[in-house]
Structure 1
Amino acid sequence: MLSLFQRKLQLPTDSPPSSGDKEKGLMRPEPVASLLSTTRRQKLLEHIWQRTSLSRQHFASLYLAPLQRYAALVQQFPASEAHHHAYPGGMLDHGLEIVAYALKLRQSYLLPSGTKPEDQVVQAEAWTAAIAYAALLHDIGKIAVDLHVEHADGSTWHPWHGPLTHPYRFRYRQDREYRLHNAATGLLYRQVLDGEIL
């Protein structure tokens, strides 16, 4: 299990092939199915499902759908410029890994603490989902404040516009403020969590 969370700062060998236009430095948005199709990402999705107590149908609506929306939004962005998961697709890998790890840790706790056991049982799945969503969203603000993303025509893309649909390029902002991404999460959680989940 630990091997799923250990990453080197290099491109994973089973990543989907880049569909970018190398001459112009453009990347094409990948379909969600392609983004999540790697062997490693499929294993992480399976680990996430195993750590819930849900049927496949309920898992699809409460976990898989938000994970798919997250994948569509973060595409091939790295999770950092020079630290953890600093490779194409690193943000997606990091999101899946941290959800799987958070759910593993969650199994060791009875929540909410200090309440009656019967209340903990009734609320167990809600707390599990809340922990998964918090883990998934903890770094999503990076795509709003750390990256400058533009389309081929030079127009700027912002993540609150929704997933990328046209070829794009990105660079890290030189003037970015470390940890500002924590505050920016509030701008983006509705892109991943729909009204029914909330």
Structure 2
Amino acid sequence: MSEVRIATEPRTEFGKGAARKIRRANKVPAVLYGHGIDPKHLTLPGHEVLLALRTANVLIRLQGDGVDELALPKGVQRDPIRGFVEHVDLLLVKRGEKVTVEIPVTTVGDVNSEGLLDQQLVSIAVEAEATHIPTGVEVDVEGLVIGTVVTAGDLKLPQGTTLIADPEVVVLQVISKPVEAPAEGEAVEGVTPEAEAESGEAASAE
């Protein structure tokens, strides 16, 4: 995984008012923590942070004013309406150390035409080297038939990546397509509209 370099500034003012001031300047308040260090309060450029966070588990190289560290985003607060990043918690990491992260689970192909894909997990917890976190794991579902179940233990993880999630947990399965009820006025197979009408009249007479 490549690094994204982001310039940092120290943050010395705190509270809601200070945070709003930072955001009005198109910047993001952040906290860097981990490895037993005192948390470092930082200010990051908003646009660069927004672009970086489009990649899951992005590795960020923080640089500026005495800071030169690698970090992983571990908590992101966004504006619920506009989607702007309002605050970021960053975990300090070192090359060679293992970290636990959630990676996306995606599918390729199409299941058997008689079945329906039911994906129950869109991400899975794994342990990987901090600078070699996989972008995700793919599951080939081409031609899978009804009744097929894929568990976490069935996933083919990249080399050097260890499953943390319960291996028995269901990631996806192929189920039967729901039976559609006949539309109003549409004859049920083997029953004519006339027969249905007569049946209804008989029930009313009773």
Same fold? TM cut 0.5: no
Which structure is richer in relative contact order (CA contacts within 8 A, separation 6 or more)?
1
Give me the TM-score of the superposition, normalised by structure 2. 0.27
Greater gyration radius: 2
Which protein has the bigger strand share? 2
